[in-house]
Chain A
Amino acid sequence: MRAGGNASGPSRSLEPMAPYLLKRVISLVLSLLAASVVIFVVLQVVPGDPASYMLGMNAQPETVEALRQQMGLNDPIVWRYLSWVAGLTHGDFGVSYTYKVPTGELIAQRLWVSLPLALYALFLSTIIALPIGIISAAKRNSAADYGIMGVTQLGIAVPNFWFAMLLVLLFSITLRWFSAGGFPGWNAGFFVAMKALTLPAIALALPQASILARVMRSSLLDTLSEDYIRTARAKGLSRGQTLVRHAVRNAMIPVLTILGLQFSFLLAGAIIIENVFYLPGLGRLVFQGITQRDLIVVQSVVMLLVFAVILVTFLVDIAYAMVDPRLRGRA
């Protein structure tokens, strides 16, 4: 709170924030450029020709050649890279080989599923994990602590796709409360769409919440053994007040790191859950793109995910700096 107020107001601590931000932005742009080269080159090396894939086993060689020409696959490689990157800078991702629509449109459609799903899962994971992590640490070695540790251990160990199938068995096939998968689209109404995302979000959130709760607990335990906690208690704050005002806040840095990583993971790594619930998300788009050698789609989505990961890391760095002003000097 205090750091946020400073950043927006003209105060002393604004100065160290600006160069820190600039450095972070430069590093962000460089990382993106490097990633674009790597992604492009790797996909050129992957065996398999998109035109042959589309035309199948009965096609004549001249037809494949005509399609390659049409798709621009016969242009020089450097030219293709430059035109792709040039397009990216003004938001043009190129036209999908197989779907034959602008890739940007495809990605946008998928993002409307993947982004809400990731946020939904992250929200569930956070509201479950933080309280139980705090309880666990505050009541260390109690029955509640052991119970929570046991359950979260299980949550980490259980593969999320298997847990997802159990959810489908219970809530879709037996109870018929939810459909077994699919996504009706946001046009069908907010609650209908959110309902379709509920089981996948729970399946995704379980392992994340378990990890987050354990991180919260151990981080808080570390903080609770610090000198300033004793000082806070000594100056007359109650246990609860100390926990809320000093310990939890200071224990948040590792938790934020994990949250950032988890968000990137949820956005890109939900592919198995997307398959179990046949959700049209980004992960499945990449998967389809790879099997169909729709290289434009694959490189654009991967680029976007790289961008998302780098951006989240960037935001987390800034969040650190806000939580702990000392970090600004160490950019």
Chain B
Amino acid sequence: MSSLTKLMTTAAILVATSALAPAFAANTAITVGMVLEPPNLDPTSGAAAAIREVTYANIFQGLTRFDANGAIIPDLAKSWDISADGLAYTFHLATGVKFHDGSPFSADDVKFSLDRARAPDSTNAQKGLFADIASVDVVDPATVKVTLKKPNGSFLFNMAWGDAVILSPKSIATEATMPVGTGPFKFVNWVKGDHVELAKFDGYWGTAPKLDKVTFKFISDPSAAFAAMMAGDVDAFPVYPAPENLEQFKADPRFQVVVGNTEGETLLAMNNGKKPFDNIKVREAVAHAVNRKEIIDGAMFGYGTPIGTHFAPHNPDYVDLTAQSNYDPEKSKALLKEAGYPDGFTVSLKLPPPSYARRGGEIIAAELAKVGIKAEITNLEWAQWLEQVFKGKDYDLTIVSHTEPMDIDIYGRDNYYFNYKSEAFKKIMAELSGTTDPAQRSALLKQAQKRIADDYVNAFLFELPKTGVANAKIVGLWKNQPTPANDMSEVYWKD
């Protein structure tokens, strides 16, 4: 009898321990939610942020990279020398690096990747990043020399973009569906429409990641995203689509809410080439008619930093010019009168799909109505918006967030959809691209910010926030988004 009891107790203990065992083992898998599915996984031939959100720093690496705060740090290039004239960059590459397909990484692959990106038939969405390269030469397997046509103070920054990653020539044909890089995680599989799975790459040359498995799950519907977090199907949602739920997550100890910055300057863009916005007084009037706080509260549930120019507020070179275009409807009305529009006018306001634009658009239309400007809202899909507004410049007003980092140079582009033409601004940009001295660059960047604020090119609204939700036990996720990325190399579970 007693031996039977003993046996049963032992059995019970065995069953109990084996059942509990997985709970004690460290959790090394994570499921990350994303709103949009990447169209393919090749960051060198497509602009979709979702491609980078899966691959950047996980699968692919470049010569340099962004760290979590946006600083440029060494990646595949351990160090570099810059010639005195600023034209020659000699990169010293990491050694013992392997691609996920087993082929060894060397200077030849750097030459291959950079030459491919700048070739005449290249389909790189950011081909401009490589425009200043004159030649790429292999010095020895661990050294590559890049010669520029003219000095470019942003060259190391450009090489950190997801579009400038180094690819394996052997696997180039299948890059879009089976990406092969040198990063800490390798591609495992992709169930289209549902998830992409990555696994730790055992041959990784750097510090091994703490996670064994990363799954990116695609959930576009905001209420489905909420349900997936609540039910624990998804462990983290770094760019959570419904700011209205954030308070609920904050109140729940199972979750952490992480709010940081993106590089997205959100604008009420004006067609500077078209009446009535070809008149600077009218543009100034619009800028004063817009109440940033009301828009941030109403469209973004209070998340977002007001901006007064086209520059990220967390950047050390940022100048706060919000006071220059403060909310002042009386001044706005006076300016409209001065400009010859005492009774206002009617214009189109074309809105792309994101909620900041659709919700913000309603609020802005109401604000403009108060000063006599009637804005007629048209909602567009992205493809339509790109065709009509961005390419065709067939618009008066639109709302959009420019998410590329350090993109103030767009104001110096000919034929850009703002239709802004300023020789003074172009001069600043030309000077900037030839300057490598940090202090001078900073001064020029500040000048550029003031220039466009003084010209009231657009009504500058707010910096798009990165509002993320994650399980409270996850450590190491990026707070900010200096570039679209979900760097998983240092993420782990507490306990």
Residues on A facing B (Cβ under 8 Å): 47-50, 52-60, 62-63, 66-67, 69-70, 98-101, 106, 109-110, 113, 165, 168-169, 172-173, 176, 179-183, 185, 275-281, 284-285, 288, 290-294
Contacts and interface: CB of A to CB of B under 8 A. Distances in A.
Interface stretch (B76-84, B224-232, B290-298): B224-232
Interface centre among B40, B193, B217 (most CB of A within 10 A): B193
A106 B48 CA distance: 19
Nearest to A53: B383
A58 to B, nearest CB: 6
A70 B228 contact: no
A101 B220 contact: no
Given A47-B384, A185-B191, A57 B47 contact: yes
Contacts of A55: 46-47, 123, 125
Interface in B123-137: 123-128
Interface in B355-411: 381-384, 386-388, 390-391, 402, 404, 407, 410
A55 to B, nearest CB: 4
Contact of B39 (A67, A99, A172): A99
A69 B121 CA distance: 9
Contact of B194 (A60, A69, A172, A280): A280
A181 B404 contact: no
Contacts of B224: 168, 180-181, 275-278
Interface in B205-233: 217-221, 223-224, 227-228, 230-233
21 contacts: A47-B388, A48-B382, A50-B383, A53-B382, A54-B46, A56-B47, A58-B125, A59-B126, A62-B127, A98-B46, A99-B39, A100-B177, A109-B191, A172-B227, A176-B232, A180-B228, A182-B217, A278-B228, A280-B191, A288-B37, A291-B383
A182 B125 contact: no
B39 A58 contact: no
Contact of B128 (A60, A110, A275): A60
B446 interface: no
Given A58-B125, A63-B125, A291-B381, A106 B227 contact: no
A63 B124 contact: yes
Nearest to A277: B224
A275 B220 contact: yes
Contacts of A292: 39, 383
Contacts of A185: 191, 194
B128 A58 contact: yes
Given A47-B387, A52-B391, A280 B193 contact: yes
Interface centre among A52, A57, A106, A292 (most CB of B within 10 A): A57
A101 B38 CA distance: 13
A70 to B, nearest CB: 6
Given A60-B128, A63-B125, A109-B191, A180 B384 contact: no
A54 B125 contact: yes
B221 A275 contact: yes
Nearest to A46: B383
A101 B390 CA distance: 29
B227 A181 contact: yes
Contacts of A99: 39-40, 176-177, 192
Interface string B29-53: 0000000010110100111100000
Contact of B231 (A54, A101, A173): A173
B195 interface: yes
Interface in B399-427: 402, 404, 407, 410
B230 A100 contact: no
B193 A285 contact: yes
Interface of B: 37, 39-40, 42, 45-48, 120-128, 176-177, 191-195, 217-221, 223-224, 227-228, 230-233, 353, 381-384, 386-388, 390-391, 402, 404, 407, 410
A140 B2 CA distance: 67
Contacts of B39: 54, 98-99, 292, 294
Contact of B192 (A168, A276, A280): A280
Contact of A182 (B121, B233, B381): B233
Q: Return the 3 tightest CB-CB contacts between A and B, nearest first.
A: A280-B193, A56-B47, A48-B383
A290 to B, nearest CB: 8
A294 B383 CA distance: 10
Contacts of A293: 383
Contact of B387 (A52, A67, A276, A285): A52
B221 A57 contact: no
B10 to A, nearest CB: 32
B217 A176 contact: no
Given A278-B218, A278-B220, A66 B386 contact: no
Given A98-B40, A291-B382, A49 B122 contact: no
A179 B231 contact: yes
A56 B122 CA distance: 15
Nearest to B388: A47
Nearest to B124: A63
Nearest to A168: B227
A303 B410 CA distance: 42
Given A67-B45, A278-B228, A284-B193, 20 more contacts: A47-B384, A49-B383, A50-B383, A54-B125, A55-B46, A55-B125, A57-B386, A58-B407, A59-B126, A70-B121, A100-B40, A109-B192, A165-B223, A172-B231, A179-B228, A278-B194, A280-B194, A285-B193, A288-B193, A291-B383
A110 B42 CA distance: 22
Given A101-B177, A182-B233, A66 B227 contact: no
Contacts of A172: 227, 230-231
Given A47-B384, A53-B383, A182 B123 contact: no
Contacts of A280: 191-194
B219 A278 contact: yes
Contacts of A182: 194-195, 217, 219, 228, 233
A293 B231 CA distance: 33
A181 B127 contact: no
Interface centre among A106, A109, A181 (most CB of B within 10 A): A181
Interface centre among A50, A62, A173, A182 (most CB of B within 10 A): A182
Nearest to B47: A56
A48 B126 contact: no
Given A100-B177, A106-B192, A278-B220, A180 B230 contact: yes
Contact of A53 (B45, B221, B231, B386): B386
A324 B40 CA distance: 52
A56 B124 contact: no
A181 B176 CA distance: 27
